[in-house]
Amino acid sequence: MDMHKGRIEQRRFERVVAQMAVRFYVLDAAHADALAKDAAYRETALGQMDIEARPETLLKGVTRDISAGGFCLLSDSPLEVGTPVMVDMEVPGLPRPLRALSRVMRRDTAASRDSSGSSQVWVCGLAIEAINKEDLRRIENLIIEMKLKQGK
């Protein structure tokens, strides 16, 4: 039985299919709260953060779709619902990654497509909690471009 059948879409922002490479760090709650209040982090790429401020483990994934309010992340790293993550999203043609403090809102698994079949892909819905205005504008422009290319 399809649990999503008949469900009303409750998104506030229009989303488009977009596959982009993502680097992200899982943050503890205190670090996420501090970053959300500190405007300076918004202008710094993950790789340039102070070593003391940067979380230890860099994780990777790819987006499935994106909107001005969040995105769908595919990764081999399981993330718990409610986990805060700092994300750098590589957008083709842009000089630096889009940067956002995000939070995992949902998590599902999907079958692996590799030949071994031994790994799982985690499908996570992330909501953007903090982003600078320039990066938000870049996302909005990207969505417009993608819609034009997709003929919508």
Give pLDDT tens digits for 38-72.
665 555 554 455 544 555 578 899 999 999 889 99
Domain ranges of the chain: 16-150
May I ask the CATH class of domain 16-150?
A: mainly beta
Specify the pLDDT at position 1.
38
Specify the pLDDT at position 146.
84
- The band of 6, judged by pLDDT with boundaries at 50, 70 and 90, is very low
Q: Where are the alpha helices (DSSP H) in the chain?
A: 29-37, 133-150
Specify the pLDDT at position 87.
92
- The band of 115, judged by pLDDT with boundaries at 50, 70 and 90, is low
Residue 136: φ, ψ to 5°: -65, -40
Specify the pLDDT at position 70.
92
Instruction: List the structure tokens of 81.
Output: 């619902």
Give pLDDT tens digits for 67-114.
988 999 999 888 999 999 999 999 888 888 988 999 999 999 876 655
Q: Give Rg (Cα) of the chain.
A: 16
Q: Which residue has the higher pLDDT, 137 or 151?
A: 137
- Decide: 122 and 94 in contact? Cβ < 8 Å: no
Specify the pLDDT at position 5.
45
Helices (H) and strands (E) in the chain, counts: 2, 7
